[in-house]
Copies of this chain bind each other. A is one copy, B any other.
């Protein structure tokens, strides 16, 4: 009922309902390919359905109380470990960044104080160049999937799309060290996205018992060798990552819930919450240790990153206007940013596809440009006198952080642009959020800052280093917010620091389109509960405005990568198409018999790429008595299980149904959980080709089905809500000779773009509709 409605049939009288509305044209193409890194890869679907075959049923019944408790206990232990490791790694990354960037900045300040500007510049640029080089080389050579934030791929994973090489050990290590390098190099990117990816990697590795080649095969871990449990773990991992990035436990849970996850249960909410609680305890413990000065340059920060709780928020009814303006402009800017970033990313894809050296050069060029601007631009602005209200220890400073940097100015003066540029990104945000400092920044400096970070925000994201989107958008937004605050200064009594906070929030909402989670993240970042009502209004307005123009930035990236993401809401025109019509344009379904000839199975496996086959018994006797041509739909068998049967040579000399003990002697439930294997690895002799396999005990007897007359919209709701990989279509007719299954629907069949390819008629109506 959401969204638009198809207006294809303007005159309903002209088209009686009993006729199909659509003319078929081409075959529905299934194209499971996506862009991973700069390459195009083959994409698998995940299978969240419980494969209820005889072996599973037996295993299920024979699980003892102890095993069940073991399962529950290990689930919580894994959630604990995910939180613990994410917390520790996040702290170590923070430590490394603060120290590397800190010593770099201190050295540069030293050169400047000696008036050796060129040496300072060379040191600054050279240092940043090396750091960028390290990050980019790691990414380009070892793990191309570690580039970017990783959040869109995780979002797709939790939707059921298995992007290859996303959660390996190499990716994890490259992400950690690449992120340290890139952030220390002062590039306009954050460690938030990478931390989410790191958390998910840790979760995935823990769930499968270690790296691919050195897996631990503990007995209790076998219960986690399925897509459902791994999905839950990765959800925990991603929220732990957000929590570690922003020190925002509740915000982390909500981020995973609102933005990343597709399926959600109350029990999972609770487990995710537990993981983030562990993360926050780890962070606090480290902060406690670092406060005693044992962590080098790290140690000034508390649990709240950008504390603005000292501002008393007093606003009146008239303040609603600036708030609305912030929201509207934030929404406009956010959607404009999405639009431009889309263009830039498409251009970058062309460059990146040309080869590794191109990727490397692009990253280094962006890095050089960033260093140049950060060092050079502060020379453009005039020095500002410190004023008597500020204590001497605060203004001017030459330390690593601090709100009034001396830079090239004489004593008693500070350079306001250097305060924002020649510092770490976190400190820049802290400085621009600073409240009760209405005259600290000049309009000209803020304009330069805003313009620079707009450009950097657009050109940095697509380069081959781990990069988060949160911090660039916060930087851009805070610049715009503070500028707006200065312009509106006389008309409002909201503090300029709060304007910066609200500007950041509005741009985030305008670009990422989240509401509740952003609200809580900002609450946890700034520790000012009284800001909540206006933050809510700003977020709602910015999201609404942004939604009028384009989808959220993550959806744009998902689309750009070609990941087959299933949206929550079916398109309106999907109600006018039945799955029967859809299946007519697909290749015919390949069904196997309950006791099938080996040759036939090998043939089917070699000549199709299907991942599951319906098992149909012919000539059975239905409950109503003998009937000619009666058939029985026994269930659905997976390709992986067929290959295992061939590998294990589970062959019968005669065509007969087996007893249950026979299959249990040959297979265990654990083996069937493994879904790897290729038909090319299987060698079958010609003698064996004439033998038979009894597929009954390996068949999932409880597949989900829909009638052929159901609309695509409804089938898609079922497919997504239950988390399926295959959906069988059964006929609405009941008669001898009719096949009991007329098609199988997969993820690709529900993608709007694929359907539109086969039914261009619908596309035309869609275009026409847009034009109206």
Contact = CB atoms under 8 A, between A and B. Distances in A.
A568 B250 CA distance: 23
Contact of A523 (B250, B254, B280): B250
A81 to B, nearest CB: 16
Contacts of A703: 707, 710
Interface stretch (A334-342, A445-453, A729-737): A729-737
A529 B304 contact: yes
A214 interface: no
A464 to B, nearest CB: 31
A8 interface: yes
A12 B730 CA distance: 33
A704 interface: yes
B707 A632 contact: no
A566 interface: no
A58 B540 CA distance: 35
Contact of A229 (B1, B7, B71, B620): B1
A714 B62 contact: no
Interface string A1-42: 111111111001100111000000000000000000000000
Interface stretch (A93-101, A258-266, A379-387, A393-401): A258-266
Given A250-B516, A735-B736, 15 more contacts: A4-B68, A17-B660, A250-B532, A270-B540, A273-B515, A274-B540, A277-B533, A288-B316, A624-B738, A632-B732, A701-B709, A705-B707, A707-B730, A734-B740, A735-B735
A390 to B, nearest CB: 26
Contacts of A516: 250, 253-254, 269-270, 273
Contacts of A710: 702-704
A599 interface: no
A391 interface: no
Contact of A734 (B63, B273, B523, B731): B731
A277 B515 CA distance: 11
Given A58-B12, A772-B65, A625 B704 contact: no
A82 to B, nearest CB: 15
Nearest to A620: B733
A766 interface: no
Interface in A706-722: 706-707, 709-711, 714, 717-718, 721-722
Contacts of A736: 627-628, 734-736
Nearest to A630: B735
A519 B622 contact: no
B61 A8 contact: yes
A770 B532 CA distance: 48
B281 A533 contact: yes
A533 B280 contact: yes
A576 interface: yes
A597 interface: no
A60 interface: yes
A325 interface: no
A575 B57 contact: yes
A50 B529 contact: no
Contacts of A229: 1
A483 interface: no
Given A17-B660, A533-B284, A733 B740 contact: yes
For this chain, the copies found in one complex come to: 2
Given A317-B285, A519-B250, A704 B702 contact: no
A501 to B, nearest CB: 15
B249 A543 contact: no
Contacts of A270: 515-516, 540, 543
A500 B520 CA distance: 25
A536 interface: yes
A294 to B, nearest CB: 16
A624 B737 contact: yes
B575 A60 contact: yes
A527 interface: yes
Contacts of A264: 264
B57 A630 contact: no
A589 interface: no
Interface string A624-636: 1101111111110
A527 B18 CA distance: 62
A530 to B, nearest CB: 7
A554 to B, nearest CB: 12
Contact of A733 (B3, B5, B632): B632
A661 B624 CA distance: 40
A58 B634 CA distance: 38
